[in-house]
Amino acid sequence: MPATDWGFSVTPEELESWIVHRDSDLLVVNKPGGLVCHPSKRGPWSSLVGAAREYLGVERLHMPSRLDRETSGVVVFALNREIASRLQKAIERRRVAKIYWALLMGSLAAPVVVNQPIGPAEGALVAARQAVREGGRESVTEFEPLAAKGDWTLARVRPLTGRMHQIRVHAAWLGHPVAGDKIYGPDERWYLEFVTRGWTAEMQRALGVSRHALHCGEIGFPDHLSFHAPWPDELADYTGLRP
């Protein structure tokens, strides 16, 4: 994605290279980290949905679920309202299985299920920050270590609920935040610094990875409909770890 002073601009060739599946009902792409899903004021090619609409030549696409800007991986678009409704109902009924891979800080020795409620973090400097807290919404996440190297653990993560920032919040609560996480990592002030100054040498030393190392590797819908996206080379090259 060509870099600009405000973010990234997608090219048609790039979007085409991200396509995992395409038919008359669905467009499935492997979103790179750093690209927003929802429309941006910077024009259609500055967001995933805007670029997809331009590429397909359609006015509307339905996105039953999305990924955060820095999270990479599978994103599914429905090309018509009927399919969108079916997918949304499956998500609401918890009939959709999502598998993520995450590079965690530290050594996670064994599989663990985190069943801790999540809600807005009190006194946070970043307005969107969430936290494990009393009175929060039910949130359940499964973590399974796959491989370890140095100060990192590559984990398979399955969120059983769909709360905002759920994986990142639960990973931080475990004491193993997602590598490169500017909000839930060592200090949320890195996020504020990043917003104003961009990526700096100080952040490189403190966080290592320029974006949080979280990737949606698989989405499975009812009727054996599933889509996959490989662990990004940029993250594999950083530690040498692969799922």
Both 158 and 221 in a single domain?
Answer: yes
Both 122 and 51 in a single domain?
Answer: no
Both 162 and 133 in a single domain?
Answer: yes
Strongest mean pLDDT among 33-47, 107-121, 199-213: 107-121
pLDDT digits (tens, 9 = 90+) for 142-151: 999 999 999 9
pLDDT band at 5 (very low <50, low <70, confident <90, very high): low
* Alpha-carbon distance values, 189 to 41, 186, 212 (Å): 26, 9, 15
pLDDT digits (tens, 9 = 90+) for 111-124: 999 999 999 999 99
pLDDT digits (tens, 9 = 90+) for 150-171: 999 999 999 999 999 999 999 9
d(CA 69, CA 183): 13
Both 84 and 168 in a single domain?
Answer: no
- Give the mean pLDDT of the chain: 93
Annotated catalytic residues are 68
Determine the structural domain holding residue 177 and report its residue range: 96-243
Q: What is the pLDDT of residue 7?
A: 61
DSSP code, position 180: T
Both 223 and 114 in a single domain?
Answer: yes
User: In this structure, which amino acid lies at residue 99?
Assistant: I
pLDDT band at 238 (very low <50, low <70, confident <90, very high): confident
pLDDT digits (tens, 9 = 90+) for 51-106: 999 999 999 999 998 999 999 999 999 999 999 999 999 999 999 999 999 999 99
Both 139 and 243 in a single domain?
Answer: yes
* Beta strand segments in the chain, E: 19-22, 26-31, 72-78, 97-105, 112-115, 118-120, 130-132, 140-149, 152-159, 214-221, 225-228
pLDDT band at 3 (very low <50, low <70, confident <90, very high): low
pLDDT digits (tens, 9 = 90+) for 173-183: 999 999 999 99
**233: CB partners within 8 A, 6+ apart:** none
Strongest mean pLDDT among 87-96, 135-144, 200-209, 233-242: 135-144
| CATH code, 22 | 3.30.2350.10
Both 134 and 59 in a single domain?
Answer: no
d(CA 65, CA 43): 21
Write down which residue in 38, 59, 93 finishes a domain. 93
Answer whether 0.85 is exceeded by the pTM.
yes
Structure tokens at 186: 């060592």
